[in-house]
């Protein structure tokens, strides 16, 4: 096979339709049919008032669908991560052949109805592409660490401070990184970015940015009324966000919609909302982020 044919097949295997083709095999369809059969049986038993049998069929259908959903999401997540690696990595001919073979193996397993085995095949492909060295890859996808973000607005000042702390609670060092603060459009920071050193396991680095809002400074008091601290817990592509909002004013605050910064390539199912916050009350919201899968894994 010519080199260009291999690379073309790799691209075709990784496009959005590849996931669909993996999940339309005969055995996969049979699994869905069995689930539908369980649901029909449950309806029949309900009509005959045989509640125990109906309940068993419903539980079996729920279990099958729940397991299938988890396996499909894991497969799509792994394919999305492969996309992101290849977007920033020059692959050799040998690596292209490896990718093609692994994706074909994954497709074969999925067509047999073994979506969990297909996800494992793609996960092994991820590990081989990384090669034990993820220093040049997106740390939010491939590293374990904790990051906290909060703002402080000194009384009477026209500027505030964005305080960031990164803690490496993973087993390997974090590579050198360049960080720019997440700011609303039009806002400025000093410095505009910082270069972080290598952070060993258990190490932590505090960072401070002076931030200034766009336009009039009389818009700042809202930030003084509502103090927000956001923490991000990264676990190799699985991110949990914890937001703490405290009402520091002397009056209740209502209909608070919080839109935290999201790492590139991630999305949240819903934006945190607080209907009402009493004076000095502290609300804590915790929710997961997921990798933006696009069309079946497209970056």
Enumerate the domain spans of the chain.
3-130, 139-291
User: Where residue 164 falls among pLDDT bands split at 50, 70, 90?
Assistant: very high
Pick from 20-29, 232-241, 290-299: least confident: 20-29
Q: Above 70 in pLDDT, residue 219?
A: no
Q: How many residues does the chain have?
A: 299
Structural element, H or E, at residue 276 = strand 273-277
Residue bearing the bigger pLDDT, 283 or 46:
283
Q: CA triplet 112, 118, 120: central angle to 5 degrees?
A: 145
Q: Starting from the edge strand earliest in sequence, which strands make up the sheet with 266-267, in order?
A: 188-190, 204-212, 160-167, 144-152, 226-235, 238-247, 282-291, 266-267
Q: What is the pLDDT of residue 61?
A: 78
The pTM is what? 0.61
For residue 149, give both structure tokens.
């973000």
Distances (CA, A) of 256 to 217, 240, 263: 21, 21, 22
d(CA 33, CA 52): 22
Structural element, H or E, at residue 68 = helix 51-87
CATH number of 139-291: 2.60.40
Q: What is the pLDDT of residue 249?
A: 85
């Amino acid at each position: 096979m010519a080199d260009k044919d291999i690379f073309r097949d790799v691209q075709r295997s990784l496009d959005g339709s590849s996931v669909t083709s993996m999940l339309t095999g005969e055995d996969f369809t049979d699994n869905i049919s069995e689930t539908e059969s369980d649901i029909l049986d449950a309806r029949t038993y309900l009509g005959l008032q045989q509640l125990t049998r109906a309940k068993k069929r419903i539980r079996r259908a729920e279990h099958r669908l729940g397991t299938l959903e988890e396996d499909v999401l894991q497969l799509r997540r792994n394919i999305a991560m492969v996309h992101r690696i290849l977007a920033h990595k020059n692959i050799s001919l040998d690596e292209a052949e490896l990718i093609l073979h692994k994706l074909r193996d994954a497709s074969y397993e999925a067509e047999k109805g073994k979506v969990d085995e297909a996800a494992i095949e793609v996960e092994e492909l991820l590990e081989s592409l990384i090669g034990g060295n993820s220093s040049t890859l997106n740390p939010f996808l491939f590293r374990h660490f904790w990051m906290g973000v909060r703002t402080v607005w000194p009384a009477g000042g026209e500027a505030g401070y964005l305080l960031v702390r990164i803690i490496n609670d993973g087993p390997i060092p974090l590579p050198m990184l360049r960080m720019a603060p997440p700011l609303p459009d039009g806002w400025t920071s000093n410095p505009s970015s910082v270069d972080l050193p290598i952070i060993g396991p258990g190490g932590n680095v505090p960072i401070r940015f002076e931030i200034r809002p766009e336009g009039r400074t009389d818009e700042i008091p809202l930030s003084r009324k509502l103090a927000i601290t956001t923490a991000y817990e990264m676990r190799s592509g699985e991110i949990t966000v914890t937001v703490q909002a405290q009402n520091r004013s002397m009056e209740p605050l209502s209909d608070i919609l919080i839109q935290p910064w999201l790492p590139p390539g991630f999305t949240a199912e819903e934006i945190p909302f607080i209907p009402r916050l009493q004076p000095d009350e502290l609300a804590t919201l915790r929710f997961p982020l997921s990798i933006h899968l696009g069309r079946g894994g497209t970056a």
